[in-house]
Chain A
Amino acid sequence: MRHFVGGLEEWLARGRALAAPREIASSQPDRPRSWARAIIDWLDSISTRRLFSLWLVMILVCGIGFWLLDAIDGHGLRTAQGPVPRDALGLLTSIYFSFVTATSVGYGDVVPVGLTRLLAILEAVTAMLLFGAVVAKFVSGRQERLVAEIHRLTFEERIERVQANLHAVISDLSLLIEACSDATRDHARLASRVESVVRLFLGELRTTHALLYRPELDLDEQRLEAILVELSTALEALSDLLACTAAPKRRSPQLEANLRSIATLADEICGTCVPRDHPPALKVWMDRIQALANRVA
C-alpha cells in the first residue's frame, strides 16, 4: 500500500478535475444530447434582454434578406404599385414588411412573391417562438427572484435557530453535569433529560453538517465560526456528561444510536474534509470537532 501524500489538495492545485458520483451517473458521452434539449438549455442560459435583442436582430436580418431577394426577378416583395424598388427606400420597405410579418400583423400592403414567401413563413414561425420565449422568461424572472429571496430568508432563519439551539444544548448539558456530580440526586430521572438534550444536539449537528457540505451556500464566516465554537463546546460537555452518567450498557438503544450518529457526523467535520476552503481559524475548530468525536461514542 502506498500513500499519495499530496492528496486532494495537490490534485486540485495541479488543476486536475474531480469526479463526483452525481456527475458520473448523469453524463453519458455515448448519447448525444438531443437538439431540442440543447435549444432549451441555451434559452435558459441567456438573459431576457439578450433574447429580445436577438429577436430584433432577426427581424432586421430578414428585412435585409427580403431586400436582397428583390434582386431576383419575380422573387421580391410587391406592393399595389408594383415590385418594391431596390434602393434605400426599398430597404426600408423590406424592413417594414419584416416587422409586420414577425409580429404577425400582416397588413397586406406589401406582399411576398416567390422565394420571399418561404423566407416570410420561416420568419413568422421563428419570431413567434422567440417572442414567446422572451415573454416567458420575463414572467418567470420575477418568480425566480422571489424564490431566491425566500430561500435566502429561510436559510438565515435556519442558521439563527442552530445558534439558539446550541446555546440551549450547552446550558442544559452544564446543568446535567452539575446534577450528575451531585451524588444525592436521583440519576434515573436524569436519563430522560439526557436523551432529550442529545436528540436536540443531534438535530443541530445534522443541520450544520449538511450546511458545511453544500459549498454553493454562502455562510457568513463569523456566524459559522460561532457555530463551530459552540459545537465544539457542546461536544466536550457531552463527553464529560457521558463520563459521569450510567455506563454504556445501561443506556437505552435510542440514546446509543443517537450518540453514534453524533460521533459519525462530528467525525466528518474537519478542515480538509469539507468541500469548501475555509480560513485557517475555522479549520482549526473543525479539526477540533473531529477530534472530540472519538470521545462521544
Chain B
Amino acid sequence: MAPHREVRSSAAHRTMNYTEFSALLEQGDLVLVDVLPEASYAAGHIPGALSLPLARLAELAPRLLPEKDRPIVVYCGGPD
C-alpha cells in the first residue's frame, strides 16, 4: 500500500495472514476486494476479487458492497 494514503473506515480493521485468507477463500463466504489501481487489476488479480481502487473507494464502496453480513477482505500489492 502506498504509505501516503489512509484508508478511513468506520468498521473494525484487523489483519489476516495467508493461512486464514486461504481457508476463508476455500469456504467462499467472503467479499474479496482489490484496492490496487484499475490497470493493475486488469493485468492480474486474485481470482474472485472485485476492483475498488483506493482513489475511488468512497464513491464505489456503497454501490458494490451493499451486504454488511459477509466479511470483507481487502488486499493490495504487499506489506509495504
List the interface of chain A (C-beta within 8 A of B).
1-11, 14, 16-22, 209, 213, 215, 264, 267-268, 270-275, 287, 290-291, 294
20 additional contacts, CB 8 Å, given A2-B15, A4-B75, A287-B2? A1-B12, A2-B13, A3-B15, A4-B18, A4-B21, A6-B79, A8-B46, A8-B76, A9-B78, A10-B18, A11-B46, A18-B45, A18-B47, A20-B42, A215-B43, A264-B55, A271-B77, A272-B80, A273-B36, A275-B44
Within B15-62, which residues are at the interface with A (CB < 8 Å)? 15-18, 21, 36-49, 55
On whether A267 and B4 interact (CB within 8 A), knowing A6-B21, A275-B43, the answer reads no
- In the complex, the answer to whether A2 meets B73 with C-beta atoms within 8 Å is yes
Please name 29 pairs of A and B residues whose Cβ atoms are closer than 8 Å in the assembled complex, sorted by A. Answer: A1-B11, A1-B74, A2-B14, A3-B16, A3-B74, A3-B75, A6-B21, A6-B79, A7-B1, A8-B36, A8-B77, A8-B78, A9-B78, A10-B78, A14-B18, A18-B45, A20-B45, A21-B41, A21-B42, A213-B39, A213-B43, A267-B37, A267-B55, A268-B37, A271-B80, A272-B80, A273-B77, A287-B3, A294-B4
How many A-B residue pairs lie within 8 Å, measured between CB atoms? 119
Minimal beta-carbon separation of B40 from chain A (angstroms): 5
List A contacts of B76 (CB < 8 A).
7-8, 272
- Chain B minimum-CB-distance residue to A19: B47
User: When A and B form their complex, which 6 residue pairs have the shortest distance between CB atoms, in order from nearest?
Assistant: A272-B77, A9-B78, A18-B44, A268-B37, A19-B47, A275-B43
Minimal beta-carbon separation of A19 from chain B (angstroms): 4
- In the complex, the answer to whether B16 meets A4 with C-beta atoms within 8 Å is yes
Considering residues A5, A19, A21, which has the most beta carbons from chain B within 10 angstroms of its beta carbon? A5
List A contacts of B64 (CB < 8 A).
none
Candidates B4, B9, B48, B79; contact of A9 at CB < 8 Å? B79
A5 to B35, CA, bound (A): 12
List B contacts of A7 (CB < 8 A).
1, 75-79
List B contacts of A274 (CB < 8 A).
40
- In the complex, the answer to whether B39 meets A268 with C-beta atoms within 8 Å is yes
A18 to B21, CA, bound (A): 15
List A contacts of B43 (CB < 8 A).
20, 213, 215, 275
On whether A6 and B77 interact (CB within 8 A), knowing A1-B13, A215-B43, the answer reads no
A5 to B1, CA, bound (A): 9
- Chain B minimum-CB-distance residue to A276: B43
- In the complex, the answer to whether B77 meets A9 with C-beta atoms within 8 Å is yes
Candidates B12, B14, B75; contact of A8 at CB < 8 Å? B75
List A contacts of B47 (CB < 8 A).
17-19
List A contacts of B44 (CB < 8 A).
8, 18-20, 275
Minimal beta-carbon separation of A281 from chain B (angstroms): 15
List A contacts of B12 (CB < 8 A).
1
- In the complex, the answer to whether B16 meets A2 with C-beta atoms within 8 Å is yes
A287 to B74, CA, bound (A): 21
List B contacts of A287 (CB < 8 A).
2-3
A294 to B54, CA, bound (A): 13
List B contacts of A215 (CB < 8 A).
43
- In the complex, the answer to whether B46 meets A273 with C-beta atoms within 8 Å is no
Minimal beta-carbon separation of B39 from chain A (angstroms): 5
List B contacts of A270 (CB < 8 A).
2, 77
List A contacts of B37 (CB < 8 A).
267-268, 273
Minimal beta-carbon separation of B42 from chain A (angstroms): 6
List A contacts of B55 (CB < 8 A).
264, 267
Minimal beta-carbon separation of A249 from chain B (angstroms): 23
